[in-house]
Amino acid sequence: MRILLGVSGGIAAYKAVLLLRLLREDGHAVRVIPTASALRFVGAPTFEALSGEPVTSEVFEDVEHVPHVALGQGADLVVVAPATADLLARAAGGRADDLLTSTLLTARCPVVMAPAMHTEMWEHPATRANVDTLRARGVVVVEPASGRLTGADTGPGRLPEPEEIARVALEAARAAGRAGPSGAVTDDLAGRTVVVSAGGTREPIDPVRFIGNRSSGRQGTALAEAARARGAAVTLVAANLDDRVTADARAAGVDVVPVETTAELRDAVRAAAGRADVVVMAAAVADFRPAAVPDAKIKKVPGAGPAPITLVENPDVLAELAHDRLRAGQLVVGFAAETGDADGSVLEHGRAKARRKGADLLAVNAVGGGRGFGAPTNAVTLLDGRGEVVGETSGTKREVADGIWDAVTKALPGI
Protein backbone atom coordinates (compact mmCIF):
# COMPACT_ATOMS: atom_id res chain seq x y z
CA MET A 1 0.00 0.00 0.00
CA ARG A 2 1.20 3.52 -0.83
CA ILE A 3 1.02 5.71 2.30
CA LEU A 4 1.70 9.42 2.68
CA LEU A 5 2.74 10.38 6.20
CA GLY A 6 2.13 14.06 6.89
CA VAL A 7 3.98 15.57 9.84
CA SER A 8 3.16 19.02 11.19
CA GLY A 9 5.20 21.18 13.53
CA GLY A 10 4.72 20.03 17.10
CA ILE A 11 6.99 18.49 19.71
CA ALA A 12 5.21 15.16 19.12
CA ALA A 13 6.80 15.05 15.64
CA TYR A 14 9.42 12.69 17.06
CA LYS A 15 6.71 10.02 17.36
CA ALA A 16 6.18 10.23 13.60
CA VAL A 17 9.58 8.58 13.24
CA LEU A 18 8.31 5.58 15.21
CA LEU A 19 5.08 5.52 13.20
CA LEU A 20 7.09 5.59 9.96
CA ARG A 21 9.13 2.61 11.08
CA LEU A 22 5.99 0.64 12.04
CA LEU A 23 4.40 1.25 8.65
CA ARG A 24 7.57 0.36 6.78
CA GLU A 25 8.10 -2.82 8.80
CA ASP A 26 4.52 -3.78 7.95
CA GLY A 27 5.47 -3.75 4.28
CA HIS A 28 4.06 -0.44 3.11
CA ALA A 29 5.73 2.17 0.90
CA VAL A 30 5.74 5.43 2.86
CA ARG A 31 6.63 8.93 1.77
CA VAL A 32 6.89 11.61 4.45
CA ILE A 33 5.48 15.08 3.76
CA PRO A 34 6.47 17.38 6.62
CA THR A 35 5.58 21.00 7.07
CA ALA A 36 8.46 23.47 7.28
CA SER A 37 7.87 23.72 11.03
CA ALA A 38 8.02 19.93 11.41
CA LEU A 39 11.53 19.94 9.96
CA ARG A 40 12.63 22.13 12.87
CA PHE A 41 11.80 19.23 15.19
CA VAL A 42 12.94 16.27 13.04
CA GLY A 43 15.32 16.73 10.12
CA ALA A 44 14.69 15.53 6.57
CA PRO A 45 17.66 13.08 6.65
CA THR A 46 15.96 11.08 9.41
CA PHE A 47 12.74 10.69 7.44
CA GLU A 48 14.62 9.98 4.21
CA ALA A 49 16.81 7.31 5.79
CA LEU A 50 13.84 5.45 7.26
CA SER A 51 11.49 5.84 4.30
CA GLY A 52 13.98 5.49 1.47
CA GLU A 53 12.21 8.37 -0.30
CA PRO A 54 12.92 12.08 -0.75
CA VAL A 55 11.47 14.54 1.73
CA THR A 56 10.35 18.08 0.98
CA SER A 57 7.78 20.51 2.29
CA GLU A 58 7.78 22.82 -0.74
CA VAL A 59 5.58 22.79 -3.83
CA PHE A 60 8.39 24.33 -5.92
CA GLU A 61 10.73 21.35 -5.67
CA ASP A 62 10.57 18.58 -8.28
CA VAL A 63 8.09 20.79 -10.15
CA GLU A 64 8.16 18.79 -13.36
CA HIS A 65 6.39 15.91 -11.57
CA VAL A 66 3.68 18.22 -10.14
CA PRO A 67 4.04 16.68 -6.65
CA HIS A 68 1.28 18.77 -5.06
CA VAL A 69 -1.21 16.93 -7.27
CA ALA A 70 0.50 13.64 -8.11
CA LEU A 71 1.23 12.58 -4.52
CA GLY A 72 -2.37 12.76 -3.37
CA GLN A 73 -3.68 11.15 -6.55
CA GLY A 74 -1.40 8.14 -6.17
CA ALA A 75 -1.91 7.48 -2.46
CA ASP A 76 -3.87 4.63 -0.89
CA LEU A 77 -3.82 6.27 2.53
CA VAL A 78 -2.83 9.62 4.05
CA VAL A 79 -1.91 9.81 7.73
CA VAL A 80 -1.11 13.10 9.46
CA ALA A 81 0.62 12.69 12.82
CA PRO A 82 0.92 14.93 14.64
CA ALA A 83 -1.81 17.21 13.33
CA THR A 84 -1.41 20.55 15.10
CA ALA A 85 -4.20 23.06 15.67
CA ASP A 86 -2.77 25.11 12.80
CA LEU A 87 -2.74 22.16 10.41
CA LEU A 88 -6.32 21.22 11.33
CA ALA A 89 -7.42 24.81 10.69
CA ARG A 90 -5.66 24.98 7.34
CA ALA A 91 -7.04 21.61 6.24
CA ALA A 92 -10.58 22.53 7.32
CA GLY A 93 -10.30 25.83 5.45
CA GLY A 94 -9.10 24.16 2.26
CA ARG A 95 -5.76 25.96 2.29
CA ALA A 96 -3.04 24.89 -0.15
CA ASP A 97 -0.04 26.87 1.09
CA ASP A 98 2.48 24.02 1.31
CA LEU A 99 2.98 20.52 -0.04
CA LEU A 100 1.06 18.79 2.77
CA THR A 101 -2.11 20.90 2.57
CA SER A 102 -2.03 20.78 -1.23
CA THR A 103 -1.78 17.00 -1.06
CA LEU A 104 -4.74 16.82 1.32
CA LEU A 105 -6.86 18.64 -1.27
CA THR A 106 -6.02 16.19 -4.03
CA ALA A 107 -6.18 12.94 -2.05
CA ARG A 108 -9.22 10.76 -2.75
CA CYS A 109 -8.13 7.96 -0.44
CA PRO A 110 -8.84 7.62 3.30
CA VAL A 111 -7.33 10.42 5.39
CA VAL A 112 -6.52 9.92 9.07
CA MET A 113 -5.41 12.77 11.33
CA ALA A 114 -4.00 12.35 14.83
CA PRO A 115 -4.15 15.71 16.66
CA ALA A 116 -1.58 16.76 19.26
CA MET A 117 -1.64 20.08 21.11
CA HIS A 118 -2.17 21.63 24.53
CA THR A 119 -5.50 20.94 26.19
CA GLU A 120 -6.67 24.54 25.89
CA MET A 121 -6.03 24.50 22.14
CA TRP A 122 -7.78 21.14 21.68
CA GLU A 123 -10.83 22.30 23.64
CA HIS A 124 -11.06 25.73 21.95
CA PRO A 125 -14.33 26.15 19.99
CA ALA A 126 -12.39 26.96 16.81
CA THR A 127 -10.48 23.68 16.96
CA ARG A 128 -13.63 21.71 17.78
CA ALA A 129 -15.39 23.31 14.80
CA ASN A 130 -12.47 22.46 12.52
CA VAL A 131 -12.51 18.84 13.70
CA ASP A 132 -16.27 18.61 13.15
CA THR A 133 -15.83 20.01 9.64
CA LEU A 134 -13.13 17.50 8.76
CA ARG A 135 -15.12 14.59 10.15
CA ALA A 136 -18.18 15.69 8.20
CA ARG A 137 -16.04 15.38 5.06
CA GLY A 138 -15.07 11.82 5.93
CA VAL A 139 -11.69 12.46 7.54
CA VAL A 140 -10.95 10.14 10.46
CA VAL A 141 -9.79 12.40 13.28
CA VAL A 142 -8.42 10.29 16.11
CA GLU A 143 -9.25 11.46 19.62
CA PRO A 144 -6.04 12.58 21.34
CA ALA A 145 -4.85 10.75 24.42
CA SER A 146 -4.87 12.28 27.87
CA GLY A 147 -1.59 12.52 29.75
CA ARG A 148 1.63 14.44 30.18
CA LEU A 149 2.07 17.24 27.65
CA THR A 150 4.97 19.60 27.04
CA GLY A 151 6.33 20.85 30.35
CA ALA A 152 4.29 20.11 33.45
CA ASP A 153 0.89 20.23 31.73
CA THR A 154 -1.38 17.20 31.84
CA GLY A 155 -4.67 16.66 30.04
CA PRO A 156 -6.26 15.68 26.72
CA GLY A 157 -4.17 16.64 23.71
CA ARG A 158 -1.37 14.10 23.83
CA LEU A 159 -0.58 12.28 20.57
CA PRO A 160 -1.75 8.66 20.74
CA GLU A 161 0.97 6.04 20.64
CA PRO A 162 2.27 5.16 17.16
CA GLU A 163 0.88 1.62 17.40
CA GLU A 164 -2.64 3.00 17.97
CA ILE A 165 -2.36 5.47 15.09
CA ALA A 166 -1.12 2.73 12.76
CA ARG A 167 -3.98 0.44 13.75
CA VAL A 168 -6.65 3.09 13.16
CA ALA A 169 -5.09 4.19 9.88
CA LEU A 170 -4.76 0.68 8.43
CA GLU A 171 -8.31 -0.17 9.44
CA ALA A 172 -9.58 3.00 7.74
CA ALA A 173 -7.78 1.92 4.58
CA ARG A 174 -9.21 -1.57 4.82
CA ALA A 175 -12.76 -0.27 5.36
CA ALA A 176 -12.37 1.74 2.15
CA GLY A 177 -11.25 -1.35 0.23
CA ARG A 178 -7.58 -0.41 0.06
CA ALA A 179 -5.69 -3.70 0.32
CA GLY A 180 -2.76 -3.90 2.71
CA PRO A 181 -0.49 -6.65 4.00
CA SER A 182 -0.93 -5.89 7.68
CA GLY A 183 -1.19 -8.99 9.78
CA ALA A 184 -2.79 -6.85 12.49
CA VAL A 185 -6.01 -6.62 10.50
CA THR A 186 -7.88 -9.91 10.28
CA ASP A 187 -10.81 -10.85 8.03
CA ASP A 188 -12.32 -13.44 10.38
CA LEU A 189 -15.72 -11.69 10.32
CA ALA A 190 -15.82 -11.25 6.55
CA GLY A 191 -19.27 -12.15 5.24
CA ARG A 192 -20.85 -11.78 8.68
CA THR A 193 -23.53 -9.31 9.77
CA VAL A 194 -23.28 -7.85 13.25
CA VAL A 195 -25.57 -5.68 15.38
CA VAL A 196 -24.14 -3.84 18.38
CA SER A 197 -25.98 -1.61 20.84
CA ALA A 198 -24.03 1.06 22.71
CA GLY A 199 -24.54 3.97 25.07
CA GLY A 200 -27.13 4.51 27.76
CA THR A 201 -30.88 4.78 27.32
CA ARG A 202 -32.81 7.71 28.74
CA GLU A 203 -36.35 7.48 30.07
CA PRO A 204 -38.14 10.86 30.18
CA ILE A 205 -39.65 12.08 33.44
CA ASP A 206 -41.01 15.22 31.80
CA PRO A 207 -39.98 17.23 28.70
CA VAL A 208 -36.67 18.32 30.30
CA ARG A 209 -35.68 15.57 32.75
CA PHE A 210 -34.87 11.91 32.35
CA ILE A 211 -33.65 8.79 34.12
CA GLY A 212 -30.28 7.80 32.68
CA ASN A 213 -26.88 6.31 33.45
CA ARG A 214 -23.18 7.08 33.06
CA SER A 215 -22.43 4.98 29.97
CA SER A 216 -20.38 6.82 27.33
CA GLY A 217 -20.96 4.12 24.72
CA ARG A 218 -17.25 3.90 23.90
CA GLN A 219 -16.97 0.18 24.63
CA GLY A 220 -19.91 -0.62 22.39
CA THR A 221 -18.60 1.69 19.68
CA ALA A 222 -15.19 0.01 19.93
CA LEU A 223 -16.91 -3.34 19.42
CA ALA A 224 -18.71 -2.05 16.33
CA GLU A 225 -15.56 -0.53 14.82
CA ALA A 226 -13.51 -3.66 15.58
CA ALA A 227 -16.11 -5.88 13.91
CA ARG A 228 -16.14 -3.64 10.84
CA ALA A 229 -12.34 -3.74 10.70
CA ARG A 230 -12.51 -7.54 10.78
CA GLY A 231 -14.76 -7.61 7.73
CA ALA A 232 -18.30 -7.61 9.13
CA ALA A 233 -21.23 -5.49 7.97
CA VAL A 234 -22.11 -3.64 11.18
CA THR A 235 -25.16 -1.80 12.49
CA LEU A 236 -24.61 0.24 15.65
CA VAL A 237 -27.75 1.09 17.62
CA ALA A 238 -26.50 4.19 19.41
CA ALA A 239 -28.28 5.32 22.56
CA ASN A 240 -27.49 8.99 23.22
CA LEU A 241 -23.90 8.93 22.00
CA ASP A 242 -21.78 12.03 21.53
CA ASP A 243 -21.86 13.28 17.94
CA ARG A 244 -18.09 12.90 17.63
CA VAL A 245 -18.28 9.25 18.69
CA THR A 246 -20.94 8.46 16.09
CA ALA A 247 -19.01 10.42 13.45
CA ASP A 248 -15.96 8.23 14.08
CA ALA A 249 -18.10 5.10 13.79
CA ARG A 250 -19.60 6.24 10.50
CA ALA A 251 -16.14 7.12 9.19
CA ALA A 252 -15.08 3.54 10.00
CA GLY A 253 -17.91 2.20 7.79
CA VAL A 254 -20.44 1.43 10.53
CA ASP A 255 -24.17 2.04 9.94
CA VAL A 256 -25.40 4.08 12.93
CA VAL A 257 -29.03 4.11 14.13
CA PRO A 258 -29.56 6.73 16.88
CA VAL A 259 -32.11 6.00 19.63
CA GLU A 260 -33.03 7.48 23.00
CA THR A 261 -35.29 5.25 25.08
CA THR A 262 -35.25 1.55 25.88
CA ALA A 263 -38.34 1.02 23.73
CA GLU A 264 -36.64 2.69 20.76
CA LEU A 265 -33.47 0.66 21.29
CA ARG A 266 -35.45 -2.58 21.53
CA ASP A 267 -37.29 -1.87 18.27
CA ALA A 268 -34.09 -0.88 16.42
CA VAL A 269 -32.09 -3.88 17.62
CA ARG A 270 -34.84 -6.35 16.80
CA ALA A 271 -35.35 -4.79 13.37
CA ALA A 272 -31.67 -5.30 12.53
CA ALA A 273 -31.22 -8.62 14.35
CA GLY A 274 -33.33 -10.59 11.89
CA ARG A 275 -30.39 -10.66 9.45
CA ALA A 276 -27.54 -10.71 11.99
CA ASP A 277 -25.11 -13.52 12.74
CA VAL A 278 -24.15 -11.86 16.03
CA VAL A 279 -26.00 -9.44 18.30
CA VAL A 280 -24.00 -7.69 21.01
CA MET A 281 -25.98 -5.86 23.68
CA ALA A 282 -23.35 -3.51 25.09
CA ALA A 283 -25.75 -0.64 25.82
CA ALA A 284 -26.62 0.20 29.42
CA VAL A 285 -30.40 -0.19 29.27
CA ALA A 286 -32.65 1.38 31.88
CA ASP A 287 -34.46 -1.25 33.93
CA PHE A 288 -37.38 1.05 34.72
CA ARG A 289 -39.27 3.99 33.21
CA PRO A 290 -41.85 6.41 34.57
CA ALA A 291 -45.39 5.04 34.22
CA ALA A 292 -46.64 8.40 32.93
CA VAL A 293 -44.84 11.37 31.39
CA PRO A 294 -46.55 14.78 31.61
CA ASP A 295 -46.55 17.12 28.62
CA ALA A 296 -45.28 20.04 30.72
CA LYS A 297 -42.29 20.41 33.03
CA ILE A 298 -42.96 19.28 36.60
CA LYS A 299 -42.93 22.42 38.73
CA LYS A 300 -41.32 22.73 42.13
CA VAL A 301 -43.84 23.70 44.82
CA PRO A 302 -42.01 25.35 47.76
CA GLY A 303 -42.55 23.43 50.97
CA ALA A 304 -44.56 20.65 49.34
CA GLY A 305 -41.68 18.25 48.68
CA PRO A 306 -41.20 16.18 45.51
CA ALA A 307 -44.16 14.36 44.03
CA PRO A 308 -43.60 10.59 43.84
CA ILE A 309 -42.78 9.10 40.44
CA THR A 310 -44.27 5.69 39.75
CA LEU A 311 -41.91 3.44 37.80
CA VAL A 312 -42.73 0.42 35.65
CA GLU A 313 -40.34 -2.26 34.41
CA ASN A 314 -38.82 -2.05 30.94
CA PRO A 315 -38.57 -5.12 28.69
CA ASP A 316 -35.44 -7.22 29.21
CA VAL A 317 -34.04 -6.77 25.71
CA LEU A 318 -31.09 -9.13 26.13
CA ALA A 319 -33.18 -11.97 27.59
CA GLU A 320 -35.72 -11.56 24.78
CA LEU A 321 -33.04 -11.75 22.10
CA ALA A 322 -31.46 -14.80 23.72
CA HIS A 323 -34.84 -16.52 23.91
CA ASP A 324 -36.20 -15.58 20.48
CA ARG A 325 -33.05 -16.04 18.30
CA LEU A 326 -34.34 -13.95 15.40
CA ARG A 327 -32.05 -15.80 12.98
CA ALA A 328 -31.02 -19.45 12.97
CA GLY A 329 -27.57 -20.01 14.47
CA GLN A 330 -27.44 -16.47 15.83
CA LEU A 331 -25.01 -15.75 18.68
CA VAL A 332 -26.14 -13.33 21.38
CA VAL A 333 -23.61 -11.53 23.57
CA GLY A 334 -24.54 -9.45 26.60
CA PHE A 335 -22.83 -7.12 29.04
CA ALA A 336 -23.20 -6.94 32.79
CA ALA A 337 -21.88 -3.83 34.52
CA GLU A 338 -21.75 -4.84 38.17
CA THR A 339 -20.71 -3.61 41.58
CA GLY A 340 -20.09 -5.99 44.45
CA ASP A 341 -22.29 -5.73 47.53
CA ALA A 342 -23.23 -7.60 50.68
CA ASP A 343 -25.03 -10.22 48.63
CA GLY A 344 -22.12 -11.14 46.39
CA SER A 345 -19.06 -10.16 44.36
CA VAL A 346 -19.05 -8.73 40.85
CA LEU A 347 -18.39 -12.18 39.43
CA GLU A 348 -21.08 -13.85 41.55
CA HIS A 349 -23.68 -11.35 40.36
CA GLY A 350 -22.43 -11.87 36.81
CA ARG A 351 -22.80 -15.65 37.06
CA ALA A 352 -26.38 -15.31 38.23
CA LYS A 353 -27.16 -12.90 35.41
CA ALA A 354 -25.57 -15.19 32.80
CA ARG A 355 -27.80 -18.08 33.86
CA ARG A 356 -30.86 -15.83 33.97
CA LYS A 357 -30.37 -14.08 30.62
CA GLY A 358 -29.49 -17.09 28.47
CA ALA A 359 -26.99 -15.33 26.20
CA ASP A 360 -24.15 -17.31 24.62
CA LEU A 361 -21.58 -15.01 26.19
CA LEU A 362 -21.82 -12.42 28.96
CA ALA A 363 -19.05 -9.86 29.43
CA VAL A 364 -18.93 -8.95 33.11
CA ASN A 365 -17.12 -5.78 34.16
CA ALA A 366 -16.82 -3.91 37.42
CA VAL A 367 -18.00 -0.29 37.37
CA GLY A 368 -17.66 2.61 39.77
CA GLY A 369 -14.61 4.10 41.40
CA GLY A 370 -13.11 5.20 38.09
CA ARG A 371 -13.68 1.83 36.41
CA GLY A 372 -15.90 1.04 33.45
CA PHE A 373 -18.14 3.96 32.46
CA GLY A 374 -16.15 6.87 31.07
CA ALA A 375 -12.74 5.29 31.72
CA PRO A 376 -10.30 4.81 28.82
CA THR A 377 -9.62 1.20 29.78
CA ASN A 378 -11.75 -1.77 30.72
CA ALA A 379 -11.46 -5.32 32.00
CA VAL A 380 -14.08 -8.02 31.44
CA THR A 381 -14.59 -11.63 32.37
CA LEU A 382 -16.43 -13.70 29.76
CA LEU A 383 -19.01 -16.18 30.98
CA ASP A 384 -20.99 -18.76 29.04
CA GLY A 385 -24.71 -19.36 29.47
CA ARG A 386 -24.07 -21.58 32.50
CA GLY A 387 -22.07 -18.86 34.24
CA GLU A 388 -18.73 -20.59 33.70
CA VAL A 389 -15.66 -18.45 32.99
CA VAL A 390 -14.50 -18.95 29.39
CA GLY A 391 -12.08 -16.04 29.05
CA GLU A 392 -10.81 -12.68 30.24
CA THR A 393 -9.62 -9.59 28.39
CA SER A 394 -8.39 -6.18 29.49
CA GLY A 395 -6.69 -3.06 28.17
CA THR A 396 -8.00 -0.17 26.10
CA LYS A 397 -11.61 -0.46 25.10
CA ARG A 398 -10.53 -1.35 21.58
CA GLU A 399 -8.24 -4.10 22.91
CA VAL A 400 -11.13 -5.42 25.00
CA ALA A 401 -13.35 -5.32 21.92
CA ASP A 402 -10.88 -7.41 19.93
CA GLY A 403 -10.59 -9.86 22.83
CA ILE A 404 -14.36 -10.30 22.84
CA TRP A 405 -14.47 -10.81 19.07
CA ASP A 406 -11.69 -13.39 19.38
CA ALA A 407 -13.99 -15.36 21.68
CA VAL A 408 -17.05 -14.84 19.48
CA THR A 409 -15.36 -15.98 16.27
CA LYS A 410 -14.37 -19.25 17.91
CA ALA A 411 -18.03 -19.95 18.66
CA LEU A 412 -19.39 -18.95 15.24
CA PRO A 413 -20.35 -21.76 12.84
CA GLY A 414 -18.74 -21.68 9.39
CA ILE A 415 -20.33 -19.57 6.70
pLDDT digits (tens, 9 = 90+) for 309-349: 999 999 999 999 999 999 999 999 999 988 888 888 999 99
pLDDT value at residue 180: 44
**pTM over cut 0.75:** no
Read off the DSSP letter of residue 290: E
Instruction: For residues 146 and 399, give the distance between their C-alpha atoms in angstroms, rounded to a whole number.
Output: 17
Percentage of the chain exceeding pLDDT 90: 68
pLDDT value at residue 113: 97
pLDDT value at residue 121: 93
Q: Is the pLDDT of residue 199 over 80?
A: yes
Q: Is the pLDDT of residue 69 over 90?
A: no
Q: Is the pLDDT of residue 184 over 60?
A: no
Beta bridge partner(s), residue 198: 238
Residue of 213, 240, 365, 378 with catalytic role: 213
Q: Is the pLDDT of residue 64 over 90?
A: no
Range in 33-47, 247-261, 324-338, 358-372 the model is least confident about: 358-372
Q: Which runs of E-coded beta strand occur in 367-410?
A: 377-384, 389-396
Return the axis-axis angle of helices 99-106 and 85-92, rounded to nearest 10°. Answer: 40
CA-wise closest residue to 21 among 53, 56, 51, 62 = 51
Are 107 and 4 spatial neighbours (Cβ–Cβ below 8 Å)?
A: yes
| Mean pLDDT estimate for the chain | 89
Q: Is the pLDDT of residue 194 over 80?
A: yes
pLDDT value at residue 181: 40
Q: Is the pLDDT of residue 369 over 70?
A: no
**Does residue 365 carry a catalytic annotation?**
no
| Torsional sign, CA 38, 39, 43, 44 | positive
Topology (CATH level 3) of domain 2-175? Rossmann fold (3.40.50)
| pLDDT per position as a tens digit, 283-299 | 999 999 999 999 999 99
If one compares 30 and 182, the residue with the highest pLDDT of the two is: 30
2-175 shares its CATH topology with 193-411: yes
Q: Is the pLDDT of residue 182 over 50?
A: no
Range in 32-36, 65-69, 138-142 the model is least confident about: 65-69
Beta bridge partner(s), residue 281: 197, 334
pLDDT value at residue 150: 74
Instruction: For residues 332 and 313, give the distance between their C-alpha atoms in angstroms, rounded to a whole number.
Output: 22
Burial of 406 (0-12, 13-18, 19+ CB in 10 A): middle
Q: Is the pLDDT of residue 50 over 50?
A: yes
Q: Is the pLDDT of residue 269 over 70?
A: yes
| pLDDT per position as a tens digit, 164-176 | 999 999 888 877 7
Q: Is the pLDDT of residue 15 over 60?
A: yes
Q: How confident is the model at residue 372 (pLDDT cuts 50, 70, 90)?
A: low
pLDDT value at residue 253: 84
| pLDDT per position as a tens digit, 112-138 | 999 999 999 999 999 999 999 999 999
Print burial letters for 11-20: b (CB count within 10 Å at least 16), e (below 16).
ebbebbbbbb
| pLDDT per position as a tens digit, 140-159 | 999 998 887 777 777 888 99
| pLDDT per position as a tens digit, 356-365 | 999 999 999 9
How does strand 154-158 pair with strand 145-148?
antiparallel
Topology (CATH level 3) of domain 193-411? Rossmann fold (3.40.50)
Read off the DSSP letter of residue 287: S
Q: What are the extents of the domains in the chain?
A: 2-175, 193-411
Instruction: For residues 63 and 50, give the distance between their C-alpha atoms in angstroms, rounded to a whole number.
Output: 24
